[in-house]
Chain A
Amino acid sequence: MSKPIDILVIDDEQVVRDAVCRVCGADGLTIETAADARTGLEKLHKNTYRLVVCDIMLPELNGFHILDSMKRVAALTPLIMITGYSTMQNAVDALKNGAIDFVPKPFTADELESAIHRGLRYHTLTQNPASRREGEIDLSSLAVPCPVEYHRLGNLSWACIESNGSGLIGVTDLFVKTVSPVGEVHYYDLNCEIVQGSACAEVASEDGLVHNVLSPISGRIVERNEALLASPKMVEKDPYFAGWLYRILPTDVAFSLKQLTPCIGDH
């Protein structure tokens, strides 16, 4: 088996393919491109890639079709969804259907770089034979799964609704593992309204990359975990309890939770 190519970019816009090539090429990564879903799937069938970066809106078959096809052939290549039509619904759907990340267009070089870094790290983690069970990736062997009462947005962030109606949110252990070592945490302002599937905080890793945290629920930030500012490593040690990020006053709990995956199935 030949050495895998690092990245396959599927996007119908030349400038977007070029931009990704430019940024990733500078980092010494090998890249192939496809302008539509059919070509993309053919390439995925023929070659091995470490990561797929895919647009949602494509001529004929869209990004979700690609996710489905990959799932059917049990392809283990992680996929990052990018789109110019960056609605909350698209973000949530992409993550629910197996995309490991969601990056809205237009993105900066830094945002792209950090997402690709996380994707490649994810791929590396899954290469360990111990992480496979019956040909599928066993996430619980990669990272500590969320507690049963939690809900998660993809494998990126979690929310825990408390009895008083407010909710704590934080990042998953898998997310931490793809960004570690954590250097700093940047919060948004108190009282700021955040939207499900959109960025709500930044985690800077020690290598200088800044990673956006996508919020699992919509609502207003009522409390921030100030302790994390002093000791950001806490998020690595205990991402589900002491390493929480915000306390949120959700705008619509029932609707937000319906879009998330209950963590009870992870155990």
Chain B
Amino acid sequence: MVTKLSRRIGFKLIVVVGLTMIITIGVYSYFNTRSQRENLLAEVERHAMQLSETVKNGTRYDMLFNQRERIHIIINDIGSDPAINEVRVLNKEGEIIYSSRAESIGRMVDKQAESCYGCHAADKPLERLSISERTRIFRIHPDSARVFGVINPIYSERSCWDAPCHAHSKQQQVLGVLDVTISLADVDERIRASTFQVGIFAVSAILAASLIIAFFVNQWVSKPVGVLLDATKQVGSGNLSYTVPDLGKGSIGLLAQSFNTMTMKLSEARLQLFQSDKMASLGRLAAGIAHEINNPLTGVLTYASFLLKRSQNNPELHEDLKIIVRETIRSREIVKSLLDFARQSIPKKSQSDINEIIDRSVAVVEHQLAIKGLKVVRKIDPHIPKITLDPNQMQQVFVNLLVNAADAIEDNTGAVTIASGILRLPPQGIVHIKAARCPSGHDLITTEYKIEGIPAIRVKARSNGDEGFIMLDPIYGLNRHRYEFEVLEGKQLDVVCPECNVSLMMEEGRCPVCGSNLFSFSIPAQGDVEFCIKPKCAWQRWATVDSVGKKVYAEVCVADTGVGIPKEDLSRIFEPFFTTKGQKGTGLGLAVIWGIIDNHNGTISVESEVGSGTTFRIRLPIS
């Protein structure tokens, strides 16, 4: 990847989401552990208090009767429990009277010590303590387990000073203290384990969530953004034919679609610009060529025609000179047609025999082909009626096609066939709609958008508050329409003129195929064309043209058995300056041919298979 990891949007997203997760889960885990610890300690406290009360109650009777041995036994028994650290009873002076640890008995306890601090912190000892003030947590040694201690003051009561044995005076309120300490080793172990568990849970939750987010961010954001980024780079470097693959129906998918539409538009605009630029340079080139070639041609034509007049008595020379003059005049017409092509001029039409033009064209190239060892096969239909056309331009077309055909064949290996015939064709797929008007007279033909090189018919469609253009196929019946916006199934669609917004919808009539509404526009002097509104329904009707029925065409095919044209070149071969001949060709030949045929209201198409040959098919209407 060219982009630095830290700059990529996916990485940033993952970092931001990850941090949020760490904070949330961290805070949650902290409070969770704390509350668990508090609960456990509270439980220990309750347990200790209970124990303390039980010891106090259990020894009360023996205390009253001063059964010291029995008290020793009880305290020893209770203190033998491993969870219990020590159970001891202190008298008012701080002397340990009873203890589960025998060695402690008789020792004085420092009143400043941990166990006494609760009451003796103030100078005068307190006599009543709240429960939380009676508990404490401490360590006996810095490295030993924590210990929980609870002191339980033994208050004086009537039976104490009434007892026959002795001892306590009536004024004494607190007789001593029962101090129970419980080891927290177990509890601490549990707290540690649970903190560890929560920590593990938090870390794995953060990791798992981050991985899942990373996966989906990568899938939904990084990858498509990367694809889009690659596309922008491709387009940026000039590859306008690059399209982004389908990225689904989400925002990024829509972005990709509009990106594709944008590049398509851009490439069309560039092509148009390029084309007009080419046309402009072609104009300059033509002017230069005309001037440069016409001067030497003047020499040839003037001298030849001058000699022609003076060679009446030499029939052989006269005939030869005639050919020179005729062919020079043809050259003059070719140069003129180059100028005319640059200025889109009109052919000089007259009633001509197409077979005669074929014969003349073959005669011109036959010698050239014979040198290459190629034969020209003529398959002529002699019954073709005369057609109104420019014989010079048409000869130029045939000669160019024959020369192209010969160039495609290796020497001595094949044949060039030129065939003529009559064809009856229905108007569908043939008739070119060259003019279209809305009811207010606006021209609907747009040169900004072409379908297969022919200016399309542009209408505006509205559906559900959405609107966009529909580019209709200018060839009647072919239906290669382009929709510039998505037409939703079952939505009401309204078609209007892009200039004045006047509706093109027909009030009456339904599509005979699918029953949908129809829209129509008029063709100057040739009636109306009707279209079905449904994009998937291919119904259209042009009554004026349909009523004529099948039209008669003269068809001329020029076929070779040569190398063929690769598919990717096939759609471009009629473009000006497109050449596969390298330095040998100007790339103008087929463009000029296309222009000439178009000026004759005819069509030219090409079929080719690499390795087996190419066929050019010209159809000219016979009126």
Contacts and interface: CB of A to CB of B under 8 A. Distances in A.
B445 interface: no
Contact of A105 (B294, B347, B349, B388): B294
A22 B302 contact: yes
Interface in A6-52: 13, 15-16, 18-20, 22-23, 26
B298 A57 contact: no
Interface in A165-203: 188-189, 191-195
Give the interface centre of B305, B308, B350 by most chain A CB atoms within 10 Å: B305
Interface residues of B, number: 34
Contact of A18 (B299, B329, B332): B299
Interface in A101-153: 104-110, 112
A251 interface: yes
A195 B328 CA distance: 21
A231 interface: no
Nearest to A84: B294
A13 B305 CA distance: 19
B302 A112 contact: yes
Contact of B290 (A85, A110, A189): A85
B298 A26 contact: no
A22 B306 CA distance: 9
A108 B301 contact: yes
A86 interface: yes
Contact of A106 (B301, B343, B348): B301
B280 interface: no
B139 interface: no
Nearest to B288: A85
Give the interface centre of A22, A86, A107, A108 by most chain B CB atoms within 10 Å: A108
B350 A189 contact: yes
Contacts of A192: 348-350
Given A15-B295, A16-B299, A84-B294, A109 B306 contact: yes
A110 B302 CA distance: 8
B195 to A, nearest CB: 95
A97 interface: no
Given A18-B299, A107-B298, A87 B350 contact: no
Contacts of A20: 302
Contacts of B290: 84-86
Interface string B340-352: 0001011111110
Given A86-B336, A106-B328, A192-B349, A19 B294 contact: no
A195 B346 contact: yes
Contacts, number: 92
Contacts of B339: 86-87
A28 to B, nearest CB: 15
Contacts of A106: 294-295, 297-302, 328, 332
Contact of B351 (A26, A112, A189): A189
B299 A188 contact: no
Contact of A23 (B293, B306, B308, B347): B306
Interface string A196-236: 00000000000000000000001000000000000000000
Contact of A84 (B295, B328, B349): B295
Interface residues of A, number: 31
Contacts of B295: 13, 15-16, 84, 105-106
Contacts of B303: 19, 22, 109
A109 B339 CA distance: 24
A19 B388 contact: no
Contacts of B294: 84-86, 104-106
Interface in B431-456: none
B512 interface: no
A107 B291 contact: no
A84 to B, nearest CB: 3
B325 interface: yes
B302 A13 contact: no
B608 to A, nearest CB: 33
Nearest to B339: A87
B622 interface: no
B287 interface: yes
B52 to A, nearest CB: 120
Nearest to B332: A106
Given A16-B295, A84-B291, A87-B339, A108 B302 contact: yes
A123 B455 CA distance: 53
Give the interface centre of B306, B329, B345 by most chain A CB atoms within 10 Å: B306
B309 A109 contact: yes
B296 interface: yes
A108 B299 contact: no
Nearest to A16: B298
Contacts of A105: 294-295, 297-298
Interface string B320-334: 000001001100100
Contact of B388 (A23, A191, A194, A195): A191
A19 B302 contact: yes
B298 A84 contact: yes
A75 to B, nearest CB: 26
Nearest to A89: B343
Contact of A15 (B296, B346, B348): B296
Contacts of B350: 188-189, 191-192
A218 B332 CA distance: 20
Nearest to A19: B302
Give the interface centre of B297, B298, B306, B309 by most chain A CB atoms within 10 Å: B298
Contacts of A251: 346
Nearest to A218: B346
B596 to A, nearest CB: 13
Nearest to A11: B295
Contacts of A18: 299
Given A26-B306, A57-B291, A106-B332, A19 B299 contact: yes
Contacts of B308: 109
A193 B306 contact: no
A192 B329 CA distance: 19
A84 B350 CA distance: 26
A85 B291 contact: yes
Nearest to B350: A189
A169 to B, nearest CB: 16
A193 B347 contact: yes
B346 A193 contact: yes
A15 B298 contact: yes
Interface string B195-206: 000000000000
Contacts of A194: 348
Contacts of B346: 193, 195, 218, 251
A251 B347 CA distance: 13
Given A57-B291, A86-B294, A106-B294, A193 B305 contact: no
Contacts of B287: 85
B305 A110 contact: yes
Contacts of A87: 339, 343
Contacts of A191: 349-350, 388
Contacts of B297: 105-106
Give the interface centre of B291, B302, B336 by most chain A CB atoms within 10 Å: B302
Interface of A: 13, 15-16, 18-20, 22-23, 26, 57, 84-87, 104-110, 112, 188-189, 191-195, 218, 251
**Which 6 A-B pairs have CB atoms at the shortest separation, nearest pair first?**
A84-B294, A15-B299, A19-B302, A189-B350, A108-B305, A106-B297
26 contacts: A15-B299, A16-B295, A16-B299, A18-B299, A19-B299, A22-B302, A22-B303, A23-B302, A84-B298, A85-B290, A104-B294, A106-B294, A106-B295, A106-B297, A107-B298, A108-B305, A109-B306, A110-B305, A188-B348, A191-B350, A192-B349, A193-B347, A195-B345, A195-B346, A218-B346, A251-B346
Given A106-B300, A109-B309, A194-B348, 11 more contacts: A15-B298, A19-B302, A23-B306, A84-B291, A85-B287, A105-B294, A105-B297, A106-B299, A108-B329, A193-B346, A195-B345
Interface of B: 287, 290-303, 305-306, 308-309, 325, 328-329, 332, 336, 339, 343, 345-351, 388
